[in-house]
Structure 1
Amino acid sequence: MATLFQFALWIHIVAGFTAILILWIPILTKKGNKLHRKSGWVFVYSMTIISLTAIYMGCFRLFWMPSVDAGTRSFSWFLIYIAILSGASVWHGLRVLKFKRRSKSHCQAVDLSFTLTLLTSSIGIMVYGWNVGFPLLQYFPLIGLFLGGGQFIYWITVPKSRSHWVVEHISGMLASSIAAITAFVVFGAPRLLEVDSVNLLIWFLPTIVFTPMIIFFSSYYGRKFAGNS
């Protein structure tokens, strides 16, 4: 089991660096062209691997490692939660493309299940965080509540513009990027930079940086695609 854990860890690290590096290609290239699509799929596959390996490693530490201390237990739950957040966001970003021409509410169980999983896990992790007094788990799930709530409202309401899918696609993919980079900052940066691993500013720095990007690109391409419709 320990060997499998190390294997999953290395795959997780490689996929994480791949996702963080490849992310900028679909952001900066022309939307819909060959390079955008191919690099986008590399990002999606990388994020899928990140999510699956994170869930495995988090569960391994929680249920198969003997004598896990409180800090490790809390970080393991965060690892599982960040995997759910990134996975649900990538899924949402993909599925809005498939249904970009919809003209009515969308209530397919497979899509709502991802959204509801994100919402319920956000509430559960937040409650757990307050119970154990762990700031990262107390506040970070607010992001998941915001994203999950937005996704749920998007699916169950009738689109108001033809470019509705553009905004959701961009926000879904960039939100998953926030999750990936936050995980690196929480677990990797303290070891590499020898900084305090419980600094709230460090934990929320990716969100602070990427949120304006989500707003800018969503607004820009939303107007652009609306004009091309």
Structure 2
Amino acid sequence: MHLFEVLIWLHVAFGAAGLIAFWVPIASRKGASNHRRWGRIACYGFLGAGVLAIAMALLSLYGPEERIPSITDRELFAGLFGWMMLYLGILTIGFVDYGLAVIRHSRNRAALRSARYQSVILAVVLSALWCGYFGMKVGHPLMQLVAGVGLVAMALQQVYIWRRETHGQSYVGEHFRALLGMGISAYTAFLSVGLIRIVPDQVFNPLIWAGPSIIGVSLIVYFTIRTKPKAERKIAPSA
């Protein structure tokens, strides 16, 4: 068995655990034991899938073997299965990292300004910019769409991190948005592995690939409205 195939199976195992566990904390009571337990499973599953997606992307770009030789447009293949998968892997890791960090540092936002967290955000931004540029180069709107989602998400994170004052419960909304974003990037990356094998004639259909973004952004808007602090709630200054 080739290394790439081993990575695929590991990616499927980690991704399946994350994809299944992902919906339990969304449906369960927030803060309850099931929410925390299944949330951790989803995060660790997606974290592993993200690392493996990066490894597969690098192999697709620089490996000695030609991946999926039936695809003749190699530049487009490099875009979707190389640079976009690399970006989505980094984006997934970034969302997991931030989603857990805002809970861990809910009373000390200054900790999120450290090089430790800012370097992860920078990695997402740089990979998103390259993904969007390559998408324009090969003329595929999907790459530009997912790159835009990541750039907007990182900008919103920085607004929260560097804002002078926030509501005391603002970190809850940040937590929801980050982990829902994690689901968007993970589901999109997962399609890049399974879609080519299930419906290979639709592998470059942007409507199919955009599905996770449409559903995920809708959930983000819903939870943002639902968890928006009331105006009269006490403002918490930055630490």
In the superposition, the TM-score normalised over structure 2's length comes to: 0.86
Change (3 A) 1:3 1:172: same
Which residue is equivalent to 1:89? 95
- 1:39-64 CA deviation, whole Å, 9 max, x = no partner? 11111110111011111111112112
- For residues 142 and 151 of structure 2, the distance between their equivalents in structure 1, rounded to whole angstroms, comes to 15
Percent of pairs with identical residues: 27
Question: Are 2:168 and 2:234, in contact at CA under 8 Å, matched by a contact in 1?
Answer: no
Question: Are 1:47 and 1:86, in contact at CA under 8 Å, matched by a contact in 2?
Answer: yes
Question: Are 1:105 and 1:157, in contact at CA under 8 Å, matched by a contact in 2?
Answer: no
- For residues 103 and 137 of structure 1, the distance between their equivalents in structure 2, rounded to whole angstroms, comes to 32
- 1:129-163 CA deviation, whole Å, 9 max, x = no partner? 22233333233201111111111222122342011
Change (3 A) 1:187 1:10: closer
- For residues 64 and 36 of structure 2, the distance between their equivalents in structure 1, rounded to whole angstroms, comes to 40
Q: Which amino acid aligns with 1:108?
A: S
Which residue is equivalent to 2:18? 19
Which residue is equivalent to 1:7? 6
Change (3 A) 1:228 1:160: closer
Change (3 A) 1:139 1:5: same
- 1:184-229 CA deviation, whole Å, 9 max, x = no partner? 33442353245512222112111111212112123223449x9799
Map of 1:191-206 to 2, 5 A cutoff?
Answer: 191-193=197-199, 195-206=201-212
Map of 1:25-64 to 2, 5 A cutoff?
Answer: 25-64=24-63
Local SS of the residue matching 1:160: strand
When the two chains are superposed, the root-mean-square deviation of aligned CA atoms in Å is: 2.4
2:156 to 120, 132, 150: 150
Q: Which amino acid aligns with 2:12?
A: I
- Answering whether residue 190 of structure 2 is matched by residue 184 of structure 1, we say yes
Map of 1:160-175 to 2, 5 A cutoff?
Answer: 160-175=166-181
Gaps of 5+ in 1: none
- 1:97-127 CA deviation, whole Å, 9 max, x = no partner? 0111136684111111111111121112211
Gaps of 5+ in 2: 68-73
Change (3 A) 1:138 1:216: closer
Change (3 A) 1:227 1:190: farther
- Answering whether residue 78 of structure 2 is matched by residue 73 of structure 1, we say yes
In the superposition, the TM-score normalised over structure 1's length comes to: 0.89
Question: Are 1:119 and 1:148, in contact at CA under 8 Å, matched by a contact in 2?
Answer: yes
Question: Are 2:15 and 2:186, in contact at CA under 8 Å, matched by a contact in 1?
Answer: yes
Change (3 A) 1:70 1:31: same
Change (3 A) 1:181 1:106: closer
- Answering whether residue 134 of structure 2 is matched by residue 128 of structure 1, we say yes
- What is the CA distance between 1:94 and its match in structure 2? 0.5
Q: Which amino acid aligns with 1:62?
A: L
* Aligned structure 1 segments of 4 or more residues deviating by more than 6 angstroms: 226-229
Deviates more, 1:26-35 or 1:164-173: 26-35
Question: Are 1:89 and 1:175, in contact at CA under 8 Å, matched by a contact in 2?
Answer: yes
- For residues 234 and 78 of structure 2, the distance between their equivalents in structure 1, rounded to whole angstroms, comes to 50
How many residues align? The count is 227
Question: Are 2:50 and 2:186, in contact at CA under 8 Å, matched by a contact in 1?
Answer: no
